[in-house]
Amino acid sequence: MLKLRTLSRLALISALSVIIILPAGARKTRQQEPPTPKYVFFLIGDGMGINQVYGAQNYNQVTGDGPKFINFTQFPVRTFVTTFSSSSLVTDSAASGTALSSGIKTYNNAIGVDPDHKPVNSICVWAHNKGFGTGVATNVGVNHATPAAFYGHADHRNEYEKIADQLIESDFIDFAAGGGFLTETRNTDHTGQYFEDKAREAGITVLHGQDQFRNLANHNGRVICFAKDPSRTELGFTMDHQSGETELSDFVRAGIDYLYGHFSKKGFFFMIEGGQIDGAGHNNDAICNIKEINAFHDAIDVVLAFYDKHPDETLILITADHETGGLELGDNYIMHPERLAVRKYSEEEINKRFRVLAGIGEDRRPLPNRRVPTWDQVRDFLREYVGLWGAVEVTPDQEAHFRELYHRAFNMNQVEEVQALYSVSNRIVSDAINYADKQAGYIWTHGGHTGSPVGLYVKGARAVEFNNCTDNTLIPQFIKRIAKY
C-alpha cells in the first residue's frame, strides 16, 4: 500500500515537473517527425559473420596489430537479421544482395529479379527517382553479385556481360567503383577493356587508381573508379598489396567526394561492399579474413570522418549478406590468435610461392626440367610462411601426415589440389594452413556459406529504429521509409 502511494505520488510529481519545466511549444515539437537522414551509407561485408568480426577483434587485441575495436562493434545499435533466400535457408550473395537492395526474397543466383524472374527496383532507383545521388563501391568486380543487385537484373549472377551493360546503361547510378569489369571468358573473348571502352562511349569517365580520383566533386557526368592496375578485376587481398595499391577506402573517399560534391543539398545513398571477406572465408584462410575485416574497418573510418562533419544528417548501416566458412572461435576453451601473426601473405599468395618451390607452372602442371624440392625445403617453406615448427607446434602424427603428402606429391608425382570456390590450393599448403588456423583457435566448418544470422550495426540519424529489423529484407524497406525514398 505504502509502495503504491509512493509510486503515485512520484508519478504526480513527475507529471507536474513536466508541466512546469517544459517551455511553451515543446509539445508541438514532440509531435513532429524526427529528422530525416540525408546521407545514407549502407555497408555490406560479404560473408562477414559475427565470429569473423570478433575473431578479427580478438586477433588485433592480442597482437596489438590492427584496430583494438572494429569500429562498428561500438555502434549504438547492434542487432541481428536472418538471411535465408526463397530457395534455401542458406543464401548466396545474389539472393541476399537482392534482399538487401530491393527488400524481396528471391532464389539463389538471382540478381534483381523476383522468384518469377520479374525485375524488381532497387533502393538506388527509389533514391534516384526522389532526386538523391546514388553510388555503389566494392573491392571485387563492379558487376559481381552484391553491387549488381543494386542496379542489375539477371536470372543468373554469372551473366557478367549483361550486368556490365546494365551498369553502363543505367541512368540511376551516379558513381560506381570496383576492381574492374568481370567478363564471361567461357562464352566470349571480351575483356574488361571492351566494357571500359563501351562505358567511355556512353559518356562515363573511367578512372584507374587513386591518383586519378581527383577533384571528383566538380566532375561533369557519371564516373566509374577502378584499380590502379587495369588488368585487375578485383583489388586482390589487402595483405598481399604493395604500398600504394588501390584499397576499398580509396573508393569510399572518391565516392564521398563525388556524391557530396553533386548532391550536398538533396543527399545521397552510397552502398559499399567489403567483397573479399567472403573469398578469404571460402579459402578457409583466417589471417586473410582478419585483414579483410580490418580493411573494411578502414573504409568505415572514412565514412565516420564524414559522419563527424554531418552527425545529425548521416545514417550508417553495416551488415553482411551471409556468413561464409562456418567459422568457430576457440578449440575446446583455447584460442591463440598470435599464432597467426607469422603469416604475411594470403593462402593464394603462399600457393603461388609454393608452386615456384615445387616447380609447378601457372597451369598447375609440373614444369619441364623441374627440380623436385627436398622434404627439408618443404618444411622450411611451411615454417617461414605458415609458422609450423615455429609459432605453431606440430605433433608427430601431424608431421607424419605432411610427410606422406610430400611423398605422394614429389616421389609419386600425385600433385593433389584442393578446390575452393575462387581458388585452387596445393594440398600440403591447404592442410598446413587449416592446421595452423585450428591451433590458433580459428576453426572452419567447410568452404561454403552457412544459414547463420548476421549482425546489423547502425549509427546516426534514427539508428534506433533499426532495432526492429529482424530479417535482411526489412533493412531497405526501413531505409526507404526513414530517408523518404
Q: Which residues bind Zn ion (CB under 5 A)?
A: 278
Element (H, E) at 102: helix 93-102
Closest alpha carbon to 42 in 398, 296, 315: 315
Give the residue from 276, 419, 437 showing the smallest Cα distance to 351. 419
> What secondary structure letter does DSSP report for 409?
I
* 3-state DSSP assignment of residue 26: helix
For Zn ion, which is the closer residue by CB, 100 or 388?
A: 100
Q: Shortest distance, CB of residue 353 to Zn ion, whole angstroms?
A: 25
> Of 140 and 409, which has the nearer Cβ to Zn ion?
140
For residue 180, give the nearest of 162, 195, 200, 201 by alpha carbon: 195
In this structure, are strands 205-208 and 449-450 parallel, antiparallel, or unpaired? unpaired
Q: Which is nearer to Zn ion, 234 or 278 (CB)?
A: 278
CB of 324 to Zn ion, least distance (A): 5
Name the residue nearer to Zn ion (CB basis): 278 or 347: 278
| CB 420 to Zn ion: min, Å | 10
C-alpha cell at 141: 568486380
Side-chain half-sphere CA neighbours of 362 within 13 A: 0
Identify any residues that bridge with 134 across adjacent strands, giving them in sequence order.
Answer: 269
Cell 562533419, residue? 309
* Closest CB to Zn ion among residues 77, 90: 90
Q: Which is nearer to Zn ion, 145 or 227 (CB)?
A: 145
Residue 387 CB, nearest approach to Zn ion (Å) = 27
Indicate the residue among 273 and 278 with the shorter CB distance to Zn ion: 278
Rounded-to-integer distance, Cα 234 and Cα 227, Å: 7
**Smallest distance, Zn ion to C-beta of residue 284, A:** 12
Question: What's the closest the beta carbon of residue 446 comes to Zn ion, in angstroms?
Answer: 12
Nearer to Zn ion, 278 or 292 (CB): 278
Torsion sign over Cα 49, 51, 52, 53: positive
> Contact, 376 vs 403, CB < 8 A?
no
Instruction: Kindly give, in sequence order, each residue whose CB lies less than 8 Å from that of residue 68, ignoring residues fewer than 6 positions away.
Output: 57, 60, 61
Q: Which is nearer to Zn ion, 257 or 278 (CB)?
A: 278
Cell matching residue 474: 526489412
Kindly give the pairing relationship between strand 268-274 and strand 133-138: parallel
Burial of 53-89, coded b for 16+ CB within 10 Å and e otherwise, reads: bbbbbbbbebeeebbeebbbbebebbebbbbbbbbee
CB of 195 to Zn ion, least distance (A): 23
Quote the least distance from Cβ 59 to Zn ion, whole Å: 22
Question: What region, left, alpha or beta, does residue 203 occupy, with left being phi > 0 and alpha being psi -120 to 50 degrees?
Answer: left
List, in sequence order, every residue forming a beta bridge with 40; answer none if it has no partner.
269, 315
- The string over 302-328, giving b where at least 16 C-beta atoms fall within 10 Å of a residue's C-beta and e elsewhere, is bbbebbeebeebbbbbbbbbbbbbbbe
Closest approach of Zn ion to the CB of residue 234, in Å: 13
Alpha-carbon distance of 242 to 120, in angstroms, equals: 41
121-133 b/e (C-beta count within 10 Å ≥ 16 → b): bbbbbbbbeeebb
For the bound state, the minimum distance from the C-beta of residue 274 to Zn ion, rounded and expressed in Å, comes to 12
Is the CB of 282 or the CB of 355 nearer to Zn ion? 282
Grid cell in block for residue 80: 541481428
Q: How far is the CB of 282 from Zn ion (least distance, A)?
A: 6
Give the residue with the Cβ less far from Zn ion, 257 or 321: 321
Give residue number: closest CB to Zn ion.
278
